[in-house]
Structure 1
Amino acid sequence: MMRAIAVVLAVLGWAAAAHTACAAGYPERPIRMLVGFAPGGGVDVTARLLATRLSEQLGQSVVVENRPGSGGMIATAAVAHAQADGYTVLMASAADAAQHLLHSDLSYDLLKDFAPVSLVVTVPFALVTRPSLPVANVADLVRLARAHPGELRYASSGIASAAHLSNELFNSMAKVQIMHIPYKGVSEGVTAVAAGQIDMVFASFPSVMALADAGKVKLLAVSTPYRSAVMPALPTVAESGLPGYERYGWYGVLAPKGVPPAIVDRLNAAIVAVVGKPEMREAMVKQGLEPKTTTREAFGRFLADEVAQSAELARASGLAASR
């Protein structure tokens, strides 16, 4: 028995030493960062901003590879099943925390099949309405919705999208019934609000700022629990009529499960260093992004909370997974 234990310990010690040696030389070749959406979107912009600086920080190229389709699931699945060596990572988004709500047959589990590396940014949403809607703040909107249950309509970029779940949280907390009208993309929903066809939408700042400046939509509040650096004068939903409200998008880096912890730590340290640089933070804020890194452990807890909240909001809205 003692000999068997000694053999096991020796093997474990050898494996640990091998992982340490591997991490010491990491990275020795280019790293692929997969993005599940087409070039030009928020996930892609964030990935490219990060990849450029990570390449400098790590001394190896970090190459962004777009694999759009199925709401990001093609890229997510590819990373889940990639070799666990740290050379393939994913720029994940809030959409990944909700995919299980629509698809019961996913080939991966967000909380079991990945090694969290770090959160990179949060994405504040602006709550905007059509200019003619007779409200000046969130409190007015809540009163109007309560007085006319089921008559107001909100846009989203689809079932279980960030915009959809943001408004379902609003409905639940405010105890109102604002009806959901899904569009193919959030830009279409914003356009519908500007045209007066839809009453409101939660959308990223870049997608609404030009219309807001032109007076074609009305900015009411920001969805984060704190005022955004993008527009610090805009109040939060919580402070302007719905205390406790908090919802936002996010992008973060995941690696396949099984990547040696030392390599994950190396990636985490590099991301934290890069995002912490003043010029990087300024570039992100200009894109409507809020720089926010974490430890790998904190990002794991964050993901678990996101999955749980998405499930809770799905139950509240009657959303069920497809078969």
Structure 2
Amino acid sequence: MRKPARFSIAVSMCVMLGIALPGFAQSYPDKPLRLFSGFPPGAPIDSLTRQIGAELTKSWGQPFIIENGPGANGIISADNCRKSANDAYSYCMFDRTIPLLPYLYAKLPFDVMRDFEPVSNMVYTALALTVHPSVGANNLKELIAAARARPGTLNYASLGPATTANLLMGWLKKQESLDMTHIVYKGPPDLFRALVAGESHITFLGVGGFLGFHKAGKLKIIGISGDKRSPLVAEVPSLAEQGLTSIDTRVWFGLFAPAGAPRDRTGRMHLELKRIFAIPAFSEKSLVAAGFEPIANSPEEFARDLVRDRASGAELIKISGARVE
């Protein structure tokens, strides 16, 4: 009877120390994983998730299938994720607007805070306040002056009423009493074409998409979201440097799972994200060069972020006056 007892103690010690034993190795994952993404194929965050998926497949030996479901501000994709089995084989990719949806829509098919488990706030992305050269602005102060001098003639572009770009521009419009028109485009390619052609004048989207146009002089980046400059355009001051400190202009992209997913499995996903982000080549090429700031925080830390952002976002929506329904 002593030998089994000693064996049981040894197994327990190995489990506590995280040492794998033959026959006791964790089997997760033992089948393909899915990611529901409300972002279109080819978008910067879509490219990043596909590169993460390739690393996960290399490490875990299982396919990582991405199901893009753009449209309706990600609501359809999120609802499909909610309806999936909560076995940690299905995940969802959301951005900063997800905890704000209840303030924008009169009715949703899910409860954001109840129906999803936060896994990790993966990255922050730098947004670029970008203008067409015809606006004649080199910074935020000059943009506000140009809009005041030409009431009703300038417009700003976004990908939808519930997007961060529209919320932040709507907030600026209200705060500074500016008369500008909001134009919605179906996707980044349409928005970029309109902006370069001068049909649209201002937008606020990921910095990576504007670098080529900025360097060629076709568009001008005049501010970077948050309180840090982007290494991609280090000469452009942050919006905080330009005096915009009353709101958090950063945008995050985070990983979620359907509520009730096993914590040990989602915890493994979080640790694997941290490992991937720590790979120097991956960090430099897939994160920094694409305008992403790696975070990969824990589920507990991410849960606190959501509570904070929901409170600050509610105030942002109230001031901007944004509403979808």
Band the TM-score falls in, shorter-chain normalisation: 0.7 to 0.9
Q: Determine the structure 1 residue equivalent to 2:310.
A: 307
Q: CA deviation at 1:24?
A: 4.0
One-letter amino acid matched to 1:314: I
Distance in 2 (alpha carbons) for counterparts of 1:23 and 1:94: 36
SS at match of 2:135: coil
The one of 92, 96, 121 aligned to 1:94: 96
Deviations 1:93-114 (A, max 9, x none): 2343343344333221121111
Q: Determine the structure 2 residue equivalent to 1:116.
A: 118
Distance in 2 (alpha carbons) for counterparts of 1:160 and 1:234: 27
Which has the larger displacement, 297-306 or 43-52? 297-306
Q: Determine the structure 2 residue equivalent to 1:286.
A: 289
Residues 136, 38 of structure 1: alpha-carbon distance in 2 compared, 3 angstrom cutoff: closer
Alignment pair present for 1:224 and 2:226: yes
Q: RMSD in angstroms over aligned alpha carbons?
A: 2.6
Distance in 2 (alpha carbons) for counterparts of 1:57 and 1:214: 40
What is the correspondence of 1:102-181 to structure 2 with a 5 Å cutoff? Answer: 102-148=104-150, 150-174=152-176, 176-181=178-183
SS at match of 2:92: strand
Distance in 1 (alpha carbons) for counterparts of 2:68 and 2:182: 30
| Residues paired across the two proteins, number | 302
Q: Determine the structure 2 residue equivalent to 1:233.
A: 235
Deviations 1:104-150 (A, max 9, x none): 33221121111100011112111111112232222222333345555
Distance in 2 (alpha carbons) for counterparts of 1:36 and 1:79: 10
Distance in 2 (alpha carbons) for counterparts of 1:257 and 1:76: 12
Distance in 2 (alpha carbons) for counterparts of 1:294 and 1:211: 33
Report sequence identity in percent.
32
Which has the larger displacement, 204-213 or 274-283? 204-213
- Unaligned segments of structure 1, at least 5 residues: 1-21
Are the counterparts in 2 of residues 158 and 182 from structure 1 also a CA contact under 8 Å? yes
SS at match of 2:233: coil
Deviations 1:247-291 (A, max 9, x none): 133221101111122222111111111112211211222223222
Which has the larger displacement, 306-315 or 246-255? 306-315
What is the correspondence of 1:69-84 to structure 2 with a 5 Å cutoff? Answer: 69-84=71-86
Are the counterparts in 2 of residues 150 and 178 from structure 1 also a CA contact under 8 Å? yes
Which has the larger displacement, 60-69 or 296-305? 60-69
Alignment pair present for 1:42 and 2:44: yes
Distance in 1 (alpha carbons) for counterparts of 2:115 and 2:50: 24
What is the correspondence of 1:197-208 to structure 2 with a 5 Å cutoff? Answer: 197-208=199-210
Q: CA deviation at 1:74?
A: 2.1
Distance in 2 (alpha carbons) for counterparts of 1:79 and 1:222: 32
TM-score by length of 2: 0.83
TM-score by length of 1: 0.83
Q: Determine the structure 1 residue equivalent to 2:263.
A: 261
Q: Determine the structure 1 residue equivalent to 2:9.
A: none
Residues 79, 35 of structure 1: alpha-carbon distance in 2 compared, 3 angstrom cutoff: same
Q: CA deviation at 1:182?
A: 2.4
Deviations 1:35-81 (A, max 9, x none): 22332123321210111112233343322222344332222112112
